[in-house]
């Protein structure tokens, strides 16, 4: 019997459009995003960088239509020259990473269909991502991840917790550009409620933290996407060790 779930790279325009349809459902319909290249008639969330990225797809073959239920957009350093920049450049100063001499992979536009959240979809995507990392000999993963909404006061707990407990080391510490720098250390350490902070942190960000991820210095308030972004950075050497423990624990649970 064929496996229900399959994780693979997009192989053509139809696959990319399937990813863009899912992104539209999540980012536009659910979260209220907008942008100059979003196609509301065709229900596609897209931008000018899509043609240059690899698109990692998670498919559920048990679905009769719209089999793509999870996506990741990936740009390795060696392919960045085709674009001239990473997507995150518009929000963060990436000098620390670009001068590190390490092999980089930018992650973005990650989302999972609403019906599959809280299940195994994210684990399947992470397994597919791990295969990609190994195939391309990636040293450092990075990319923006989002909190819903742009009300910074309501995000004071999680942003402060991330800054106090998961700030990237200096050699990997990207920084939000000065023109739109949003400080994250909004509360003193003794005013941070870890439980409240974690309850208000998206599952994807928590997954990065469990696997050894860090955050950059400062957030970016994206009014067009109705999100507040942080830049996550992960050294794959640390990820590999925590990844094994993470999945071993999952197998036992």
State residue 253's pLDDT score.
Answer: 42
pLDDT digit string, tens, across residues 180-215? 999 999 999 999 999 999 999 998 899 889 888 999
86-118: b (≥16 Cβ within 10 Å) or e: bbbbebbbbebbeeeeeebbbbbbbbbbeebee
CATH code of 165's domain:
3.40.630.30
3-state secondary structure 45-110: CCCCCHHHCEEEEEEECCCCCCCEEEEEEEEEHHHHCCCCCCHHHHCEECHHHHCCCCCEEEEEEE
pLDDT confidence of residue 100: 93
pLDDT score at 130: 87
Please give the residue range of the domain that contains residue 34: 5-252
Confidence (pTM): 0.89
pLDDT number for residue 252: 46
List Cα–Cα distances, 145 to 60, 66, 112, 172, 208, in angstroms.
24, 24, 13, 17, 10
Q: What pLDDT shows up at residue 224?
A: 85
Domain count, the chain: 1
Q: Which stretches in the chain have pLDDT values below 70?
A: 1-2, 239-253
So what's the pLDDT on residue 244?
54
| Per-residue pLDDT, 51 | 93
- Looking at residue 242, its pLDDT comes to 57
């Amino acid at each position: 019997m064929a496996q229900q779930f399959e994780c693979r790279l997009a192989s053509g325009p139809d696959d990319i459009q399937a990813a863009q349809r899912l992104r539209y459902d999540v980012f536009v319909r659910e979260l209220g995003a907008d942008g100059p290249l979003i196609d509301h008639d065709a229900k596609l969330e897209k931008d000018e960088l899509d043609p240059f990225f690899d698109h990692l797809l998670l498919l559920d073959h048990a679905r009769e239509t719209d089999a793509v239920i999870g996506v990741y957009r990936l740009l390795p350093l060696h392919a960045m020259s085709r674009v001239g920049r990473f997507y995150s450049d518009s929000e963060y100063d990436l000098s620390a990473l670009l001068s590190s001499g390490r092999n980089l992979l930018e992650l973005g536009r990650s989302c999972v269909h609403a019906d599959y959240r809280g299940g195994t979809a994210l684990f399947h995507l992470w397994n597919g991502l791990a295969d990609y990392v190994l195939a391309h000999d990636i040293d450092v993963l990075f990319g923006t991840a989002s909190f819903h909404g742009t009300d910074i006061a309501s995000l004071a707990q999680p942003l402060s917790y991330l800054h106090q407990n998961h700030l990237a080391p200096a050699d990997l510490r990207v920084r939000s550009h000065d023109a739109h720098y949003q400080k994250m250390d909004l509360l003193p350490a003794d005013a941070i409620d870890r439980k409240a902070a974690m309850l208000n942190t998206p599952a994807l960000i928590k997954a990065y933290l469990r696997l050894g991820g860090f955050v950059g210095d400062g957030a970016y308030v994206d009014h067009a996407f109705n999100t507040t972004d942080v830049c996550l950075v992960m050294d794959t050497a640390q990820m590999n060790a925590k990844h094994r423990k993470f999945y071993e624990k999952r197998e036992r649970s």
